[in-house]
Chains A and B, each alone.
Chain A
Amino acid sequence: MARKISMKQAINEALDLEMRRDPTVIVMGEDIVGGAGSPGEEDAWGGVLGVTKGLHAKYPGRLLDTPLSESAYIGAAIGAAACGMRPVAELMFLDFMGVCFDQILNQAAKFKYMFGGKARTPVVIRAMVGAGFRAAAQHSQMLTPVFTHVPGLKVICPSNAYDAKGLLIQAIRDDDPVIFCEHKNLYGLETDVPAEAYAIPFGEANVVREGKDVTIVSYGLTVHRAFEAAEKLARDRIEAEIVDLRTLSPIDWDTVIESVENTGRLVVVDEANPRCSIASDVAAYVAEHAFGALKAAPQMVTAPHTPVPFTPVLEDLYVPTADAIAAAVSRIAPRAMAA
């Protein structure tokens, strides 16, 4: 039965349903319960923004508050996965990956390959990404391209509550390590979500708007900015098609190429920094594989190549805006063309 719930609730519900279904699913992280061991303080936090609140009471002993040591508990989660558990480790902010990157890059991502396909590592690392939360340069980055660069990792970044629930359930059921990126500024956004469990397969982009004039490819928060831009452009009779990638590794090239073949124009919107980003990856792939379909040069709309500023005025300019996306479209799909 569908009802509107927030992305934060949807993630909680996905964890709840999978913990109920599969006793090997455990959750680890800093303050994901909070107050454990202190009388009257059970489940005081539910994680830094309350995503796991309430699960401790339902599944006592299966949510593990860890020491403030990412290298220890991310390593422990990967080890537990290699030994048959299905751990979901919360890295809080993806920015913190630096101290546990060996465990992710050299261990989890390599086990299957180095043990001749015999090892499975069904671990999910959940973490918040993205700017706009007034959390400064070390808690606001969109580091998705760092992970898509590494073979052996699956990288997911949902744009809404429905996708977040279905993709997280798929991530937990998946036998490979999954980096699950949650945009903190989407946590409050409500969409229709069925109460039942459902899994969205990886590698399936979602065409969230159809249009014939230009393809806008994006993921996460900027999908909504692209949608705003498309509504503005429609008033100028330019119809934009929006492809929400949803999963960045694997990535759904077929849907991207098919859309560009229909529209002839590509704008890629990425909140990550521009160099070696999802934007540059998509632009390069399309240029290589669908060059003949392109009527104009692919455009990239990204964050600038700077750290995320703490000043609110500058931070608001940092994430690609609807106006910037509309301007990029206008550069390659002028109004006269649409007549």
Chain B
Amino acid sequence: MMTDQRIKPVVMPKWGLSMAEGRITGWLKQPGDRIAVGDEIVEVETDKFAGVVEAGDAGILRRVVGEKDAIYPVKALLGVIADPEVPETDVEAYVAGYVTPAADDDDDEVAGPAYEFLDTAAGRLRYARRGEGGEAVVLVHGFGGDLDNWLFNIDALAAKASVYALDLPGHGQSTKTMPAGGVAALAGTVIAFMDALCIGPAHLVGHSLGGAIAMQVAIEAPGRVKSLTLIGSAGLGTEINAGYLAGFVAAASRRDLKPVVEQLFADPKLVTRQLLEDVLRYKRLDGVEDALRSLSSQFLDDGRQGGVLAPRLEGVEAPVLVVWGEEDRIIPAAHATALDGRARAEVIPGAGHMVQMEKASRVNELILGHIGG
């Protein structure tokens, strides 16, 4: 394929480890619109998730190739961005000559299997490892989540770092035996995970309960933590939507679960049938309900967060970035200021608790800036 540097393609993204194709659900820009980097251009739905493709380049949207409701493979041409002076005939030739690169067969071979397993004293842990060299980044998901919560982040971060994402005990496909001792015990699991994979000092990124766990790791083993990124994090204040936690643990059907999971997002339309089915499949596994009940009872104290870790970060020198979705309905965005003077805080509009999914590019940019990637 001829490469014309003046012409930039908008392509079907690859979100996460298993995406092969996506369906266009709507265009947010029309041909002729001026596009800035980061603008939301087109809405795409996969079997797992609905999301928005953001512009990686600036210019005029010269062509819309991808049709609404049609399904395209990853990297297929959906549209073309170019400056106004690029002749129409060149744009035409670019579209005509575009060949969709083959699926990521080569990449997958280099990157190894999507998921790996590790046996630790706490039991078997599942993890994913992406990227080579550079700084080490460890991603820690929240209550009831798993490493696929980093679907839109792991590859972007892996471009500049060695990224590890694990399923905590009781979660995802890791052991369903929850260690006694709540956040502190889970911090111990993360340290054991880093030991077992010989991960040196790392940048810890934690979401929700995972943020509290990351802080606990920094407090207990400051030498292991180069920086902290706390996203919609627990441990920064006492308020929490305890009704969400109880509802998540109790819900056994799609009808019960849907309104609970919708609270995680600013835009409830992002909760697809498949997303709910995946959560239900996890929740039905033997041991999960007990693990979640045990964890939430250790974590909550009369409907409030039992342990506030913010004051204990004083002895930790690692730089801290706090990220929040402005419309977070699980832990209030007001907690973003808990570390004022100690941490940089970014509150992102139009996002809820799952801000790393809803505003992935912005969150990725913030994390990469924070870790110096």
- Interface residues in chain A, defined as those with a beta carbon under 8 Å from any beta carbon in chain B: 1-2, 162, 166, 194, 196-201, 204, 206-207, 209-210, 254-255, 258
Contact = CB atoms under 8 A, between A and B. Distances in A.
A199 B173 contact: no
A1 to B, nearest CB: 5
A204 B277 CA distance: 12
B286 interface: yes
B284 A210 contact: no
Contact of B285 (A197, A206, A210, A254): A197
B255 A194 contact: no
Contact of B252 (A162, A204, A206): A204
Interface of B is mostly: mixed
A194 B252 contact: no
Given A1-B117, A207-B273, A258 B255 contact: yes
Contact of B254 (A162, A204, A209): A204
B281 interface: yes
A204 B281 contact: no
A131 to B, nearest CB: 29
A1 B116 CA distance: 10
Q: Which 9 interchain pairs have the tightest Cβ spacing?
A: A198-B284, A197-B286, A198-B285, A204-B253, A196-B285, A210-B273, A1-B173, A201-B252, A200-B284
Contacts of A254: 255
B254 A194 contact: no
Contacts of A199: 284, 286
Contacts of A162: 281
Interface in B122-179: 126, 173, 176
Contacts of B117: 1
B255 A198 contact: no
Contacts of B255: 254-255, 258
Contact of B281 (A1, A198, A201, A258): A198
A194 B273 contact: no
A196 B286 contact: yes
Nearest to B287: A196
Contacts of B126: 1
B118 to A, nearest CB: 13
B284 A166 contact: yes
A201 B253 contact: yes
Most buried by A among B117, B281, B287: B281
B31 to A, nearest CB: 24
Contacts of B273: 207, 209-210
A300 to B, nearest CB: 25
Interface string B244-255: 000000001111
Contacts of B252: 201, 204
Contacts of B254: 204, 206-207, 255
A194 B126 CA distance: 14
A162 B252 CA distance: 16
Nearest to B288: A198
18 contacts: A1-B126, A1-B173, A166-B284, A194-B173, A194-B285, A196-B285, A196-B286, A196-B287, A197-B286, A199-B286, A200-B284, A201-B253, A204-B252, A204-B254, A206-B277, A207-B273, A254-B255, A255-B255
Contacts of A210: 273
